[in-house]
Amino acid sequence: MGEDDKTQSYIFEACADIFSTRSPNEFAEKASGILASYLGFDGLSILEINDRADGSNPFSTFYSLHGTPTDIVFEKQAFSNEISEASFLLLNKQHISDLNNNVISERYNFYSAQFGKTNQTGLVVIGFAKIRKPELEKLKLESWASLSTILGNHYQVLKELSTCSIEVFTNLEKDTLTKVHNYESFKRKLSSAIDVSSKSHKTEYLLACVVISLDEFSMINKKYGFDLGNEVLFEIARKLENTVREEDIVGRIGGDMFGLILKNVGSYENCQKVTNRIANIFRKGLLPVGEDLTASLGVSLFPNDSKDFEELIIKAESSATMAKKIPGTFTLFAEEKNIPTTPE
């Protein structure tokens, strides 16, 4: 087998291996190892291009092969010629600086090339070589050009798929109208919060499940129409998000019902204070002048009332139903406190 055949065989095997990757980070890890081995580099980094107007530090490290120095800044002037996907460019050391004065730039020669079309992938490969490699400087590697283009295209696909997956997952978690967590997502979040709380026996890890049931909301839809009703639901979701802490969870768990997961509430008394604040957001401003919207709130606590997330929701709903005896009030599930309480 001739050298050309060996090269083509290596490229074929390398691409097959890299094509098995399923994420941009996995791609970078595998591609770095294969390229460093194939091209004989002592280290290799993959850099992302930064769009900075002043041109300072135009690259950030996306991935570095194990053992590759990372405390280096490549200035734009280091690339005295245009980066090519067909060959490696020997960089100008005068424009490569060490962050920790480790004279790394004196110990290595640096070669750069791009993955595919740089304007598509935004990635540049930097090879670290302790001994200069004139064959890389002279040779326009057709094999590298082919490999670079293929790898760049694969990276772009992985990046787009990764972005789409995040968007799809986020959309699957959110209620389409209010943009807070939907019921299925709310249940998963509650189950996860219980798992975290279960690992601590401290009282401050008391967790509250709050169910907010809007009073006579069907009448609002009949009187003002569904468009205004939907606007009200959206506004309630925003007010709830602004009332609780960032670590807490807001969800829409029914047509006219919201749920909250309040983490680390500490005590019944603290829970009552928070519930008071929540109940008060329904006092004014959600409906046209002269109209008030009230809500009945039910609360169950982990681990006091249950250690099962579904049972916590059921008990909070039961408490909210009891609170409806006096609209605009709230109740805690615990029997000794299961009396409708008017918000202060």
Residue 180, pLDDT score: 92
Residue 336, pLDDT score: 45
Query: Which segments in the chain show pLDDT lower than 50?
Result: 52-53, 118, 140, 335-336, 339
First to last CA, the chain: 87
Residue 313, pLDDT score: 94
- Decide: 210 and 262 in contact? Cβ < 8 Å: yes
Residue 144, pLDDT score: 61
pLDDT tens digit string along 25-80? 788 888 788 778 877 888 888 887 765 445 555 677 778 888 888 777 777 777 65
What span, in angstroms and rounded, lies between the C-alpha atoms of 218 and 211? Answer: 18
All domains in the chain, ordered by first residue: 3-171 (3.30.450.40), 183-337 (3.30.70.270)
Query: What are the φ/ψ torsions at residue 51 (nearest 5 degrees)?
Result: -95, 80
Residue 100, pLDDT score: 62
